[in-house]
Amino acid sequence: MLENGELVVDAVSHCFNHADDNHLHPHAQRWDDETYELGEQLMPEEYVFPEEIFYRNHQPEELERLLFLESQIDYSVYHSLPLDDYFKDGYVSREKGFELRDRNPNRIGMIVDINPLEDDAVEQVEYYAKKKDVDGIKLYPSRYQNGRDLSLQLNEDTVRPVLEKAADMDIGTVGIHKFIPFATAPTKYFRIDDVEEAALAFPELNFEVIHAGFSFLEETVFAMASHDNVYANIENTAHMACSRPKKFARSLGEMLYWAGPERIVFSSGATALHPQPPIDAIWDFEMPEDLRAGEDYPEVTQEDKQKILGKNKLRLMGKDPEQVKKDIKGDKWNQKIQTLKEQGEYPAPPWSTYEEPTEDASKERVKFV
């Protein structure tokens, strides 16, 4: 929670499994190492993972402490990932997400991955909507199957039935991963064109462009300007406020200029990244004067920051901020936070709440240039 009492809502958290025995594909190691290196590039040095903590099978109880004790996050939406062509458990398993939500029903939402190529993909959407009360579904733009990369754009025949079922089941949010491609996936699958087509075809669905602003910025902001059901989820982009503030300023400035502040949602990306640095950086952020003058970007107000850091995502989920505050007041995390505040140690130091690593957790990384 911010010092002024406003909620911080994290639109994406993950519980990754970076353990060696989770690898299926030769490029799985590359995914792990590129994810680690991304953290090295985006975070302040004191927040970069110790390798023995990163390269492990992260657990729900570790993620919850990271979110609620080491950062000001009050509510987080867990995203599972469908990368079971690279990793045995998909990289971020559904099971961990539901366990995390069961442990923290007033603080955790759930967006579940769907692979449209699976024969029962449509039935899965109905099951997770009816039986698991998920807050949305997550799609990836490509798959690696039978030795080749396959496109899974939102405008393809294999994906449309999944979107139709999501609309029928009143699932409010479809998250679509749009980022710099990892490993060898073709760049073309990660562009934004298909989001516009889906947004036009399914006006009843809201589409969160995950990692918006990190790449394909111009296409993203024009999609937001044209379609009021397209949202910018700034996972990873938010961390550029710490490490590449000028690029962050341009990304945020373009979004604000073309679409305003109401459809930008903050994400931490934990456990891949530490959640606290971008919260501090966004709260302290001021649009550089040269960009305001030269690009006509607007000033970023305190109200804009409160919307981005929490209000927008709660509105998208249909949640009343005051009710969320009531639901979490006095819970176990609130009590632990009060204790830390009394000790002058809130948020807790980075990675201090993690379990001690085992002796075999650390390993030598493979560098890819």
Q: How far apart are alpha carbons 355 and 361 in whole angstroms? A: 12
3-state secondary structure of 259: helix
Eight-class DSSP state of 113? E
Q: How far apart are alpha carbons 291 and 288 in whole angstroms? A: 5
3-state secondary structure of 179: coil
For residue 233, list its beta bridge partners. Answer: 210, 265
pLDDT at residue 90 is higher than 60: yes
**Half-sphere CA count of 240, side-chain side, radius 13 A:** 18
Of 144-153, 168-177, 332-341, least confident by mean pLDDT is 144-153
Q: Give the tokens for residue 155.
A: 């405008």
Q: How far apart are alpha carbons 330 and 74 in whole angstroms? A: 13
The pLDDT tens digits of the residues spanning 91-121 come to 999 999 999 999 999 999 999 999 999 999 9
Phi and psi at residue 173, in whole multiples of 5°?
-130, 135
Eight-class DSSP state of 60? H
pLDDT at residue 161 is higher than 80: yes
Q: What confidence category does residue 257 fall into, taking pLDDT thresholds of 50, 70 and 90?
A: very high
Residue 356: predicted pLDDT: 66
Q: Are residues 18 and 57 in contact, defined by beta-carbon separation less than 8 angstroms?
A: yes
Residue 151: predicted pLDDT: 79
Q: What dotted CATH number matches 9-342?
A: 3.20.20.140
CA triple 156-160-161, angle to 5 deg: 140
Residue 365: predicted pLDDT: 33
Q: What one-letter code names the amino acid at 38?
A: L
Q: Are residues 247 and 233 in contact, defined by beta-carbon separation less than 8 angstroms?
A: no
Q: What is the domain partition of the chain in residue ranges?
A: 9-342
Q: How far apart are alpha carbons 193 and 133 in whole angstroms? A: 30
The pLDDT tens digits of the residues spanning 210-238 come to 999 888 999 999 999 999 999 999 999 99
Give the end-to-end CA distance of the chain in Å, rounded to a whole number: 40
Q: What one-letter code names the amino acid at 204?
A: E
Nearest to 163 by CA among 151, 145, 176: 176
The pLDDT tens digits of the residues spanning 314-336 come to 999 999 999 999 999 999 999 99
pTM of the prediction? 0.94
Q: How far apart are alpha carbons 47 and 40 in whole angstroms? A: 9
Mean of per-residue pLDDT scores for the chain: 93
Q: How far apart are alpha carbons 137 and 115 in whole angstroms? A: 10
Residue ranges of the alpha helices (H) in the chain?
28-42, 51-54, 60-68, 94-103, 121-130, 160-168, 193-201, 217-226, 240-243, 245-259, 276-284, 289-295, 302-306, 312-317, 321-328, 332-342
Q: How far apart are alpha carbons 249 and 288 in whole angstroms? A: 7
Residue 358: predicted pLDDT: 55
Q: What confidence category does residue 369 fall into, taking pLDDT thresholds of 50, 70 and 90?
A: very low
Place of tokens 């405008």: 155
Integer CA distances (angstroms), 177 to 72, 182, 233, in order:
25, 11, 10
